[in-house]
A and B are shown apart, each in its own frame.
Chain A
Amino acid sequence: GENVEQHPSTLSVQEGDSAVIKCTYSDSASNYFPWYKQELGKRPQLIIDIRSNVGEKKDQRIAVTLNKTAKHFSLHITETQPEDSAVYFCAARGLTGGGNKLTFGTGTQLKVEL
């Protein structure tokens, strides 16, 4: 099955700096890669996603890039703010077994310091 690795596990940045979180996946047939943000005690919420037919996608301060050849994708947050502090999860949707199954990375704890 699909295997997703996520790095780093913790990331501390100064307010206003950029943050980058990287993920690799194993199944070359995976075609959908969402990123979720989870605040303490809350549910994961989608912040951005990218399909395999696109190399980059932006939404204001957030961008995701996908390199299908290398099987890795990254989340970029620019001009970080304290409210960006949370755990971020990457995920990949494989095509085996049917449905909309997501395999998640182990998460990155992002801390934005004042």
Chain B
Amino acid sequence: NAGVTQTPKFQVLKTGQSMTLQCAQDMNHEYMSWYRQDPGMGLRLIHYSVGAGITDQGEVPNGYNVSRSTTEDFPLRLLSAAPSQTSVYFCASSATGTDNFGNTIYFGEGSWLTVV
């Protein structure tokens, strides 16, 4: 049971390049999400998914695309990288739960992205 796995861990991009951050979880969680973390700003939600085939925007979605073709995978695509997208990216997942309360969210190890 590996939990939430992200790749790559470190990446340097040139402005205008595109790339995909991979995220996979082996806990059969319905809910997956992507956050970015910037100094002094906490974690901000980029996109999320409540199940395969369903995605929605979070707080800061511009410049990013996601898809959810399987329960296990939730890749994040940077369409045309900009220096403002230099950040640490965390993928996260959780079970939906049987009641109306939230459930523990598990984070991946993070991906450090620098756009030059």
Q: Which residues of A pack against B, CB within 8 Å?
A: 1, 6, 9, 31-32, 34, 42-46, 49, 51-52, 89, 93, 95, 97-107
Contact = CB atoms under 8 A, between A and B. Distances in A.
Contacts of B45: 101-103
B79 interface: no
Contacts of B41: 106
A32 B95 CA distance: 14
Interface in B26-41: 31, 33, 35, 40-41
Given A105-B42, A106-B40, A107-B42, A46 B105 contact: yes
Nearest to B112: A41
Interface residues of B, number: 30
A50 to B, nearest CB: 10
Interface of B: 31, 33, 35, 40-45, 48-50, 56, 58-59, 90, 94, 96-97, 100-110
Given A43-B109, A99-B56, A100-B31, A34 B42 contact: no
A84 to B, nearest CB: 19
B105 A89 contact: no
A51 B103 CA distance: 10
Contact of A34 (B49, B104, B110): B104
B94 A100 contact: yes
A85 B76 CA distance: 32
B44 A32 contact: no
B25 to A, nearest CB: 13
